[in-house]
Structure 1
């Protein structure tokens, strides 16, 4: 079984496309991992085909123009890849933004905090620069809840742009805990800025208020810390978290995701596609490639060679980079051993702790077309 054929078999059970479109998507996925460039011209050159490169390029263009994506099915696949439906997790919300010419490309992303990064599950392309609206955030999270429920959600984390009465009230009505960083000049119910209740903190010190305070129409628990820079980090939540500052640190794990999608990974900003619906499809391709690389890094860390922990307490290399380098090297060198092909396929649809060499062949052969 060729690797491209195996990917087609796996993806067919989730995406429901015909053979031609599945072949195209699997070919782009392999080319993206080989070249680490989300640029159609480059992908066409890395796309395994006997056709002329110009014909391949037009084929990729038509794919993003014509193929309809079921983003719920993509989310199902991602959730299954990491067994998230059997776990509890924090959600994190943020945007990544860049420009191509005069066009603003602005993607609001909902991810699950996971092992030093965030795994993208749903995303929304904003046809504007700047912050998302409360309505857009609610719609994105509602789609997640409709598909996967609230049971596994420990809380949602966000930066200072994710404030607003309507948004916070909706989260409370849904029974979803939130912990959001707020601005120092946010006004309390007595018209004082919120920084006034943390003004006496010294650098490195923190405090959690014992009573709720009202911001706008919402009663929230407040906690704050003075950073070494002198800036205040102030958090608002609709429940009293036992360690709010430690939990808030998980919010930053969406930044490594954006680095993986962009400059340190697949160079998403190099795409020349700018249409709303096409960018959303591109994000699905890059998100699945990111998940594959991360899962491969987990497996290699667990089975082949554990990453060293450096003096600062972090791994010598991210799991994403560890896995991506392994995949890229394997694909560029050529997979001669059939067991290597099976291993890469298994890593794409099995939880890393379930992967063993003896399982590779039976698992692949058990897939039904």
Structure 2
């Protein structure tokens, strides 16, 4: 059994495609890891098979044109890969956007904070420029809750664009904690401070100091707890929450993980911005960029898990003088996967290892500390 056979056996339990379409997806997955470019021309070069380059390119075009993705099945696969089901986690919400020609690519992404790098679970293609609206955010959270419930959600972390009475009230009604940054000139609406900007409550803060107000304040129609930190740039970081959190600033720091995710999907990883699959129509099945995100999400998860294994069992990442590792777990795993795929001869043990790292969550894997790279499953 070769690597493709093993991946097919794993994925067929999660998608209802024919063998031909499943083989095409696996070929795309391996080509993306090797080329690190989400451009069909680059992918066709690394796509296996005896067909001509032009035929391979056309096959990839047809795949993104005609194949229907079950995004709930993709989400369940991703949750299984990291064993998120039954665990507690913070959700992060943000957009990534860029422009190709006249096309605006704008993707609202819901991810789970995990070891410095958020893991994407659901995404929504916004056929417009600018911020998402409250209805779109609620729809994305509702889809996640329908599939996985809300009991594991410790909170929702988001940046300044994710404000709004309807959105905040929906989170509160569903007992979902949120921690969302606000603009420091946002006006208060409670009687005592009506018309004053939020920053007026934190004027005496010095650089590096933080404070949690003892009483709730009213923003719009919502009563929220306010936390603030004076940054080294002399800018005020203000957070709003529907629950009082003593370590709110530290918790909110996990929001940056979704920015790291976008860097991995784009310039520092798979170069998502180089895709030319930009066509959007009213029919959801033809949102090709949404299918591209599904492919990239699965490739990202595999590379991240391989990076975890290599860091723990083969060679730990070196910590540089600035206190950060030499590279991310994702990049560490991507390099290892790429090196493995470039080998002309692959041993059965190597292929089994990478199947296990793709299929099994980290909690089911034991790592050999002797640097042999051996892994065993916990049964």
**Alignment TM-score, normalising by the size of structure 1:** 0.96
Listed one character per residue, the Cα deviations across residues 205-255 of structure 1 (whole Å, up to 9, x for unaligned) are 111100000000000000111111111100000000120100111111111
Shift of 1:358: 6.5
User: Is structure 2 residue 203 aligned with structure 1 residue 193?
Assistant: no
Among residues 247, 251, 257, which one is paired with 1:253 in the alignment?
257
Among residues 313, 323, 343, which one is paired with 1:303 in the alignment?
313
Cα distance in 2 for partners of 1:160, 1:110 equals: 16
Q: Is the 8 A contact 2:163 2:182 kept in 1?
A: yes
Cα distance in 2 for partners of 1:151, 1:335 equals: 46
Describe the SS at the equivalent of 1:15: coil
Q: Is the 8 A contact 1:299 1:353 kept in 2?
A: no
Q: Is the 8 A contact 1:93 1:156 kept in 2?
A: yes
Shift of 1:162: 0.2
Shift of 1:99: 0.7
1:163 corresponds to: 163
Cα distance in 2 for partners of 1:178, 1:14 equals: 32
Shift of 1:329: 0.8
User: Is structure 2 residue 321 aligned with structure 1 residue 317?
Assistant: no
Structure 1 regions of 5+ residues with no counterpart? Answer: 364-369
The answer to which structure has the higher helix fraction is: 1
1:74 corresponds to: 74
Cα distance in 1 for partners of 2:47, 2:315 equals: 31
Cα distance in 1 for partners of 2:232, 2:171 equals: 32
Cα distance in 1 for partners of 2:279, 2:261 equals: 23
Among residues 327, 330, 333, which one is paired with 2:340 in the alignment?
330
Describe the SS at the equivalent of 1:169: helix
**Please, what is the CA RMSD of the aligned residues?**
1.4
Describe how 1:1-369 pairs up with structure 2 within 5 A.
1-189=1-189, 190-276=194-280, 277-355=287-365, 357=374, 359=376
Shift of 1:359: 4.3
Shift of 1:345: 1.1
Report how many aligned residue pairs link the two structures: 362
Shift of 1:335: 4.2
**Alignment TM-score, normalising by the size of structure 2:** 0.93
Structure 2 regions of 5+ residues with no counterpart? Answer: 281-286, 367-373
